[in-house]
Structure 1
Amino acid sequence: MNKESRTMLASLEHSLQLGGRLVENIAGPQWNAPTPCSDWTVRKLLEHVVGMNLVFAAMLSGQRPPSRDADVLGEDPAGAYTRSAQLLLAAFGAPGVLEQSFQSPMGTATGFERLQIRSYDLLAHLWDLAQATGQALEDDPVLESSAQQAWEFARGQLADSPRSGRFDPPQPVSDEAPALDQLAAFLGRPVPWTPHR
């Protein structure tokens, strides 16, 4: 595994840890609160995050992904998130995975490209989760660097791709905004976001 791959994997681990802290701080009524993903409550948003962690882990490991109808959170959403994060990191960290190519309904990509895809989607949803639950993501250099890389990758990947069914059109945001806000706005989130918008 080269230095770039190790750095990206460490960034994913950092993002997953931040997500774990967000999930642990969700209070009871907040599970049904709206999120920047307009069709999803906080619980539905976390179901998506955990589900995607499990889908990517299964794909990289050559296993069957969970059913779309599966209750991936159960009675312990924080525990389900932690377990899915551990499986995802183990799958991406397996020897040779980042150099292999993997098929999915969205086409063929290397493990390293899948790592970048998972990273930008995860970061966007951590932003959603923080907004929906009134939590502040830590202002730290690793998060800023991860978000910057994710934003640049997403712009390259989605520049000529249709957004229908995946992301809303890019939203306006200050050029001085943090990279995570830039990523969120590029992926169709209004920045700043308020529940009644």
Structure 2
Amino acid sequence: MGEIAERYRRRAEAFERKVAGVAPDQWENQSPCVKWTARDVVEHVVTMHGVMLVPIARKLHPTDDPLGAFQEARAAIEDVLDDPVAALSETGTPGGRMTVEQHIDQVVSDDLVLHGWDLARATGQDETIEPVDVERLWATAVAIPPDLMAKYRTPGAFGEGIEVYGAEVHVAPDAPLQDRLLGLLGRQP
């Protein structure tokens, strides 16, 4: 198993635990994403998993059960990452051409971390992000050129209803790195 597949599996396991930890009466709780409830966060993650499957002509089957939907999406992505032909197929992305596994790593794998925090915040679960993930996402985020970051913060720049990051939230420069990362990506730590 390669590094990307291992990272995805670790993050997916953590996200799945959070989804399983949502009480039935918490699905409509407001998330840190202004327009989303806890259910919406999971639906977004599942939808983005489906987007990763399009270049290799695979798709997910809709279900109203958030945990079941995520488990199906997770299994589909793990199947792709375990299939060298599918994983190494090239695809066009907003960031240019890359392999399907690279696209999974940069989009849904990273989404699992950030949206895992969103789900935890919305449902009163442990909000701690693995330090290795905080460091990796921080390095990626601070390397984004200012003009591209501005585009990421512009609602609709990548399609109707899509907003990658919210407006930056001021966080003290000596705050823990997780808090600085969350603030940079538009969340109130």
Identify the TM-score tier after normalising by the shorter chain. 0.7 to 0.9
Distance in 2 (alpha carbons) for counterparts of 1:33 and 1:24: 15
Map of 1:93 onto structure 2: 82
Indicate yes or no: 2:130 matched with 1:132.
Answer: no
Question: How many Å apart are 1:118 and its aligned residue?
Answer: 2.5
Q: Does the CA-based 8 Å contact 1:54-1:84 persist in structure 2?
A: yes
Distance in 1 (alpha carbons) for counterparts of 2:23 and 2:59: 30
Deviations 1:76-103 (A, max 9, x none): 2111111101111222332155554311
Map of 1:31 onto structure 2: 27
Map of 2:159 onto structure 1: none
Map of 1:168 onto structure 2: 166
TM-score (normalizing by structure 1): 0.77
Count of paired positions: 176
User: Relative to structure 1, is the Cα distance of residues 53 and 170 closer, same or farther in structure 2, using a 3 angstrom cutoff?
Assistant: same
Q: Does the CA-based 8 Å contact 1:24-1:78 persist in structure 2?
A: yes
Map of 2:69 onto structure 1: 80
Indicate yes or no: 2:152 matched with 1:154.
Answer: no
Aligned Cα root-mean-square deviation (Å) = 2.5
Unaligned 5+ segments in structure 1 are: 192-197
User: Relative to structure 1, is the Cα distance of residues 184 and 57 closer, same or farther in structure 2, using a 3 angstrom cutoff?
Assistant: farther
Question: How many Å apart are 1:43 and its aligned residue?
Answer: 0.9
Distance in 2 (alpha carbons) for counterparts of 1:33 and 1:85: 24
User: Relative to structure 1, is the Cα distance of residues 147 and 79 closer, same or farther in structure 2, using a 3 angstrom cutoff?
Assistant: same
Q: Does the CA-based 8 Å contact 2:80-2:87 persist in structure 1?
A: no
Q: Does the CA-based 8 Å contact 1:35-1:128 persist in structure 2?
A: yes
Question: How many Å apart are 1:16 and its aligned residue?
Answer: 0.6
Map of 2:158 onto structure 1: none
Unaligned 5+ segments in structure 2 are: 156-162
Q: Does the CA-based 8 Å contact 1:120-1:147 persist in structure 2?
A: no
Distance in 2 (alpha carbons) for counterparts of 1:130 and 1:65: 27
Instruction: Identify which of structures 1 and 2 has the higher relative contact order when contacts are C-alpha pairs closer than 8 Å and 6+ apart.
Output: 1
Question: How many Å apart are 1:51 and its aligned residue?
Answer: 0.9
Q: Does the CA-based 8 Å contact 1:50-1:73 persist in structure 2?
A: no
Deviations 1:122-154 (A, max 9, x none): 211111000000000466xxx221231122123
Q: Percent identity?
A: 28
Distance in 2 (alpha carbons) for counterparts of 1:58 and 1:17: 23
TM-score (normalizing by structure 2): 0.79
Distance in 2 (alpha carbons) for counterparts of 1:182 and 1:86: 32
